[in-house]
Amino acid sequence: MNDLAPLVHDAQADFERAAAPADLENAKARYLGKAGLITEQLKALGALTPDDKKARGALINAAKQQIEAALNARREALAHADLLAQLKAEALDVSLPGRQRGTGGLHPVSLTMERIEAIFGSMGFDVADGPEIETDWYSFTALNNPENHPARSMQDTFYVDVKDAEGRWLNLRPHTSPMQVRYARAHAAKHAEAVARGQAMPEIRVIAPGRTYRVDSDATHSPMFHQCEGLWIGENVSFKDLKVVFGDFCRRFFETDELELRFRPSFFPFTEPSAEVDIAFASGPLKGHWLEVAGSGQVHPNVVRNFGLDPERYIGFAFGMGPDRLTMLRYGVNDLRLFFDGDLRFLSQFR
């Protein structure tokens, strides 16, 4: 025990109280700084005799070392506490569920389009695509619509207030039937060559799915909707082939053989005779109801002529079905607008 013991003790207590590195450095200055208590002790040595100086100096150095040791210990403790706090603040809670990256999925109508393409593809049908902004000629005239046919009226068809380079009014196609004419004409040269070589004309067998537009909006009609056109033309293609192909398609689309088909006489300017195609399921919630799924018919000779083909030689059928309707039937959806609202609660059910 010597007179420096209380000083060492005070320093240790001060350092212990320092809660942050800055407090600790202030406390250090009080003992070891230029005007600190230890420094004062060392300055006082000058007045002593050499022997006393030696003994006193050793005591002061011992006290200084104890103070420095306490200082270092506290510095480490504070740094460690700081590290712990930082680790705690940045801690990962590994038990939290991860942030999920949503898995996307195809729109139900796209799923239907893909099914339609796959099924008709397997029956040898090509898949074609064409413009949604059409000319009057393709939408109506080429399809044997008289100039004053009501389908052309402003109430049904969206007209675009612009004419094309040849001065023809443009419209948003009200059906996919223009694709019959576009596709057939696009292949006309190939057909003519085959015929010139004395070969049979290669058959036209195509479907053309896509968006269509009409001035119409309620639970079962949307101003934008989908259609899928079908066309099969050859030298010997009959209504019987239409029944077989369309029946096959329906059974495969709905994955059931318990399905009946009915061709109900109807009228379209571009087919003669024409029929609506109705289906009825033999079981399930829709049992006993006839549901209209397509318009169809044998392609009118005037239209075959507009294909660039001789109607005396080429014959066949066309149909136009509603993929939106097929999607509603397949998944049991009762309001068409659900398809176009973009509500993820609805759409994610089809992932």
Site track for ligand PHE across 312-341, x = CB under 6 A: ------xxx---------------------
Coil, strand or helix at 71:
helix
Give whichever of 298 and 327 is closer to ligand PHE, judged by the CB atom.
298
CA–CA dist 92, 98 (Å, integer): 11
Size of site (CB under 6 A) for ligand PHE = 10
Nearer to ligand PHE among residue 170 and residue 299 (C-beta):
299
Tokens of 217: 């909006």
Tell me the two tokens of residue 229. 């056109």
Structure tokens at 86: 């930082």
- Do residues 221 and 214 make contact, with C-beta atoms less than 8 angstroms apart? yes
Q: Does 246 bind ligand PHE (CB under 6 A)?
A: no
Ranked by CB distance to ligand PHE, the top (closest) residue is 320
Phi-psi region of 198 (alpha: psi -120 to 50; beta: other; left: phi over 0): left
**175 or 205, CB closer to ligand PHE?**
175
Q: Does 171 bind ligand PHE (CB under 6 A)?
A: no
From the list 190, 58, 178, 79, the residue with the least C-alpha distance to 129 is 178
Q: Which one, 38 or 181, has the nearer CB to ligand PHE? A: 181
Find all residues with CB under 8 Å of 192, minimum gap 6, and list them. 308
Between CA 224 and CA 323 the distance in angstroms is 12
Decide whether 41 or 274 has the Cβ nearer to ligand PHE: 274
Gap between the Cα atoms of 44 and 7, Å rounded: 16
| 238 class by beta-carbon count within 10 Å (0-12 exposed, 13-18 middle, 19+ buried) | middle
Helix (H) or strand (E) holding 161: strand 159-163
d(CA 195, CA 90) in angstroms, rounded, equals 79
Minimum CB–partner distance for residue 268 and ligand PHE (Å): 4
Report the residue number, 108 or 178, with the smaller CB distance to ligand PHE: 178
Q: Which of 271, 298, 306, 327 binds ligand PHE (CB under 6 A)?
A: 271
> Does 120 engage in binding with ligand PHE (CB under 6 A)?
no
Token look-up 């706090």 returns: 85
Q: Which of residues 177-236 bind ligand PHE (CB under 6 A)?
A: 177
Q: Among 28, 56, 152, 175, which residue sits at the site for ligand PHE (rule: CB under 6 A)?
A: 175
Taking CB under 6 A as the binding criterion, the range among 2-10, 130-138, 292-300, 339-347 that sits at the site for ligand PHE is 292-300
Regarding 268 and contact with ligand PHE (CB under 6 A), the answer is yes
| Residue 108 or 322 with smaller CB distance to ligand PHE | 322
Q: Is 295 in the site for ligand PHE (CB under 6 A)?
A: yes
Binding residues (CB under 6 A) for ligand PHE: these are: 175, 177, 268, 271, 295-297, 318-320
